[in-house]
Amino acid sequence: MTDHDRLLDELRPVSFAIAYRMLGSVSEAEDVVQEAMLRVHQSLDGGEQIASPHAFVATVTTRLAINELHSARVRREHYVGEWLPEPIITEGQDDPAMHAEMADSLSLALLVLLESLSPEQRAVLVLHDVFDYGYAEIAAIVGKSDDNVRQLATRARRHVKLRRPRFQTTRQQREQLARRFFAAAEEGDLAGLEALLAHDVELTGDGGGKVPSIKRSLHGRSRVARTLVDVMPQLARFPGVSLRPIEVNGDPGALLLDGQQRLIGVWALDFAGSQITSISVVVNPDKLTHLGPVGDFRSLMSPREED
């Protein structure tokens, strides 16, 4: 392996960490990373002296992601049903994208919220608040003045804090809440679920029109709890279907597996204090392929539909 190859291997996870938070899509982020690595490689092969490879790749990645985000938003306007980011499994990961102090920036709930920002606001917020880039550095990356960048950051931060207040919750507390939540859901314990859910909890499903899912997000403790109590026993009827607890996007979640241990869904939870504030369920098979073998949810359901 050459020095160039080693450098590219070092920069690739850095590029992905930025691109994924910018785009909320693994496939789109990987396309951006591939193009960013190509540009780094071409610059090195051309004899260019790169003073700071990390700054260089952050600049290239961010600019590519901003361009991609503009076109991605057009596609998402025509998306069938609710759109959720493509989940990633962060359990056991040890790279710049997965450090504990950055876990909050990976949550599906936050990535959905970031969709409401302009691409430039999203870039500034991600680079400054997550990766600790200075405003002057960010100004050079996004091609705006320092003052403009500060204004973008202030507006973006205000928007996020208004819709997603921060609460101190330890990892142990979140794991305990998740265990109690999944146990109550599988047991059909309505009172137990309601005790764990925030009064304005949101349940969102993303089937992308490919498999059955909740058509619109559900809000409210009672409504969400009753829906889960209705849905979970239906899933339990299918032979071998199980939930496997695992860390999803930096927080406790679960994989929904069929009898052959193929993936048919991902559950991601978001927390505030001692309550669960949002539940995201991704069952669109196109958004699961990067995680391993995917089962056929429709064929799993069809025998029951025919009975």
Cα–Cα dist 153/76, whole Å: 24
Query: Which residue, among 83, 109, 276, 78, has the nearest Cα to 177 in the 3D structure?
Result: 276
- pLDDT at position 87 over 80: yes
pLDDT value for 169:
79
Find, among 61, 65, 86, 68, the residue nearest to 11 by Cα: 61
pLDDT computed for residue 243 by the predictor: 93
Q: End-to-end alpha-carbon separation of the chain, Å? A: 58
23/21 Cα distance (integer angstroms): 6
Using alpha carbons, select from 84, 67, 37, 63 the residue that is nearest to residue 127: 63
> How does residue 304 score in pLDDT terms, banded at 50, 70 and 90?
very low
Q: What is the mean pLDDT of residues 211-231?
A: 94
CB atoms within 10 A of CB 290: 14
Q: What one-letter code names the amino acid at 86?
A: E
According to the model, what pLDDT value does residue 198 have? Answer: 96
Please give the single-letter amino acid code of residue 32: V
Structure tokens at 167: 């609460």
Query: What integer pLDDT is reported at residue 156 of this predicted model?
Result: 95
Phi/psi for 302 (5° steps) reads: -60, -40
Residue in 58, 60, 72 with CA at minimum distance from that of residue 23? 72
* Tokens 């799993």, located at residue: 300
User: What would the pLDDT profile of 101-153 be if each residue is shown by its tens digit?
Assistant: 467 788 999 999 999 999 999 999 999 999 999 999 999 999 999 999 999 99
Residue 180 burial (CB < 10 Å; 0-12/13-18/19+)? Answer: middle
Tokens 């396309």 sit on residue: 31
> For position 302, what pLDDT does the model report?
58
Segment 262-296, tens digit of pLDDT: 999 999 999 988 999 999 999 999 999 999 999 98
**Which of 92-101, 155-164, 223-232 is modeled with the greatest confidence?**
223-232
Cα–chain center distance at 85:
5
Are 125 and 157 in contact, with CB atoms under 8 Å apart?
Answer: yes
In this predicted model, what pLDDT tens digit does every residue of 56-70 receive, in sequence order? 999 999 999 999 999
pTM beyond 0.85: yes
Residue 144 tokens read as 């705006």
Kindly state the tokens that stand for 31: 């396309």
Partners of residue 199 on adjacent β-strands: none
Closest CA to 111 of 282, 228, 225, 256: 282
Output the furthest CA–CA distance in the chain (Å, rounded). 68
Classify residue 118 as exposed, middle or buried by CB count within 10 Å of its CB (0-12, 13-18, 19+).
middle
pLDDT at 93: 60
Model confidence band, residue 29 (pLDDT cutoffs 50, 70, 90): very high
